[in-house]
Amino acid sequence: MPKLISEEAEQLLKVLMDTKDVKKYLDDKFISYGYKSDEAQHLKTLIDELSDNHLVMCVWYAETIHEAKIPISAEKYFEEKEKALQEEAARKKEEEQLQEEARLIEEMRREKARQEEERLKEEARLIEEMRQEKTRQAEEEKQREESKKREATRQKEIEKLQEQVKKADEARQREIIKLQEEARLADEARQREINKLEEQIRIAEEERRVEAERLMAEARQREETRIKEAKELLKEAGIGEIQQNNNVYSIQGNMSVNDVKDQIAKSGGSEAQQLSSLLSEAIEIIEEIQQTRRIPKRSRFVNELRSVSGKHMWFYQSVMAIICKASVDLLEG
């Protein structure tokens, strides 16, 4: 027997081969050694060194040889067992070869079947393509026939529409000529109306021009009348030319505004405050005339001024002269 294990393991194997109950023998050893002792660990190492085949042979040998009481040694048993193992290995190898040959044959069969299937599929594909091509050609032919029919129908419709368009164009042309004639007549009537309106406008403008000249003449006449009345008013008041220098009004031949103020202080008497108030209001009226370019209505002022004229005629004349001069300036523009 080949020496594949250590000597101690081989000795243990021989002991186990001569033992009828291998399991009981080992259990007794472990119990006697103690499972955690060094001897038990060493025994476990030796058992682990033995392969599963060794242990199986031990069990088989113990169950067969000892039971049959056949005087055979372990060495001879291992030689015969080794020979049987070799024969078994040769048989397995032969079976593997046969299986490999069967596998190759199966693969060849499958490959041939696959190729045959692919060939049949390719033939079926070509047949289907031919069928589809014929179907496509038939469909195209059908579409061409339908297209020809549609084209013929469309051509008829086009010719019909062209005839309708031609008639519509003729009718539209007649309508255009009619509208052009109506537009010409309307233009002539509108031109006559425009000429009539222009003549009316010319007459109205001439009337407005005459009216404007008349109004301007009347305005000049009124202005001359106002100037004449103002001059007569100045003459009645006994006043000559009135001059204005830096808003200080003076009366030629009489006295200035400042002189009037001094005269009020000297001879105004109990009416001095009233006279001063009237003089200040007269100056405000003149400033308003210059700013607004119109003569304001001051009835109360005129009544008060007249009320003092009997006692202070000089004051009445001076104030009237100042206001009249401002009015004349307004009339003169």
pLDDT in tens, 102-129: 999 999 999 999 999 999 999 999 999 9
Query: In the predicted model, what is the mean pLDDT of the chain?
Result: 78
The more confidently predicted of residues 76 and 47 is 47
Looking at residue 106, what is its pLDDT?
A: 93
**Residue 262, both tokens:** 């001094």
**Dihedral sign, CA of 84, 85, 88, 89?**
negative
**Spatial contact of 9 and 50, defined as CB atoms under 8 Å apart:** yes
Lowest mean pLDDT among 21-25, 72-76, 249-253: 249-253
Check residue 239 and give its pLDDT: 44
Stretch 268-273: mean pLDDT, rounded? 84
Residues 6+ apart with CB under 8 A from 321: 234, 237, 239, 242, 249, 251, 254
Confidence grade of residue 100 (pLDDT, cut at 50, 70, 90) = very high
Tokens for 52?
């599963």
Distance in angstroms (rounded) separating the CA atoms of residues 231 and 236: 9
List pLDDT tens digits, range 57-84: 565 445 454 444 444 444 554 566 567 7
Instruction: Report how far apart the first and last C-alpha atoms of the chain are (Å, whole number).
Output: 161
The confidence score (pLDDT) of residue 55 equals 58
Distances 41 to 4, 5, 47 between C-alpha atoms, Å: 21, 18, 10
From the list 74, 39, 34, the residue with the least C-alpha distance to 57 is: 74
pTM score, two decimals?
0.29
Average pLDDT for residues 229-253, to the nearest whole number?
44
SS (H, E, C) the chain: CCCCCCHHHHHHHHHHHCCCCHHHHHHHHHHHHCCCCHHHHHHHHHHHHCCHHHHHHHHHHHHHHHHHCCCCCHHHHHHHHHHHHHHHHHHHHHHHHHHHHHHHHHHHHHHHHHHHHHHHHHHHHHHHHHHHHHHHHHHHHHHHHHHHHHHHHHHHHHHHHHHHHHHHHHHHHHHHHHHHHHHHHHHHHHHHHHHHHHHHHHHHHHHHHHHHHHHHHHHHHHHHHHHHHHHHHHHHCCCCCEEEECCEEEECCCCEHHHHHHHHHHHCHHHHHHHHHHHHHHHHHHHHHHHHCCCCCCHHHHHHHHHCCCCCHHHHHHHHHHHHHHHHHHHCC
Q: What is the pLDDT of residue 108?
A: 94
Each as own residue / partner, the long-range contacts of residues 79-86 (CB below 8 Å, 24 or more positions apart, any chain) are 79/1, 81/57, 82/1, 82/2
Residues 161-182 have a mean pLDDT of 90
Higher pLDDT, 238 or 94: 94
